[in-house]
A and B are shown apart, each in its own frame.
Chain A
């Protein structure tokens, strides 16, 4: 089955740029989606189709996807961005959805 690998944690100072990676075999050929989840809350979609932002999501959030790595980039990080972030793809070979293990973003 298809596996997505994320770093367990990423730390960044306020105002700096955070990059959260999602690794998978030839993930560049798939569409990658990203969710933000704050403690005690449901996940919220922040990036879909590799790099598109839903309405209401700040432009500071962006995404890219190439080769074996997809990346969620958060520019000018704010304290309110502290959360868990999950990448997700659909595996066409199995017709199933796969989530990455999640990355805890800490704002120092």
Chain B
């Protein structure tokens, strides 16, 4: 059974930093790309970042580019999101999601999601 468990959320001041983790189990972690998706309170889903299975390729939404860094440790089956220069608008539940890649550059979707971790940016 696929399980994704996020941790590391909490209250942080504007301009501060936080590192989220996502512990994965139930599948061959290194074979799959992974992603972070967030949801601000009462709002819709917003894709944040993705990383290839090897970790060699990373992708970011414009809203977080230059401030957030996605990474993974395949020896620990763990995905990370380092968040720096946090802003009030980064307040959200952050979900870790397993990526299923379609062939022939048809893109990808998210077949499994964690329960999320809440990040609150406030003074």
A residues with a Cβ closer than 8 A to B are 1, 30-31, 33, 35, 37, 41-45, 48-49, 54, 84, 86, 88-90, 92, 95-102
Contact = CB atoms under 8 A, between A and B. Distances in A.
A13 B62 CA distance: 40
Contact of A45 (B61, B111, B115, B116): B111
B111 A89 contact: no
Contact of A42 (B59, B105, B115): B115
Contact of B45 (A45, A54, A92, A102): A102
Contacts of A54: 111
Interface in B82-119: 95, 100, 102, 105-111, 113-116
Interface of B: 35, 37, 44-47, 50, 59, 61-62, 95, 100, 102, 105-111, 113-116
6 contacts: A1-B62, A31-B102, A33-B109, A35-B45, A97-B50, A102-B45
A91 to B, nearest CB: 8
B46 A45 contact: no
Nearest to B101: A90
Contacts of A33: 109-110
A98 B47 contact: yes
Contacts of B45: 35, 37, 43, 86, 88, 99, 102
Contacts of B111: 45, 48, 54
B113 A43 contact: yes
Nearest to B108: A90
Nearest to B46: A99
Given A96-B47, A97-B47, A99-B44, A42 B113 contact: yes
B52 to A, nearest CB: 12
B106 A31 contact: yes
Contacts of A41: 115
Nearest 5 A/B pairs, CB to CB: A90-B107, A97-B47, A33-B109, A102-B44, A42-B113
Given A86-B45, A99-B46, A30 B113 contact: no
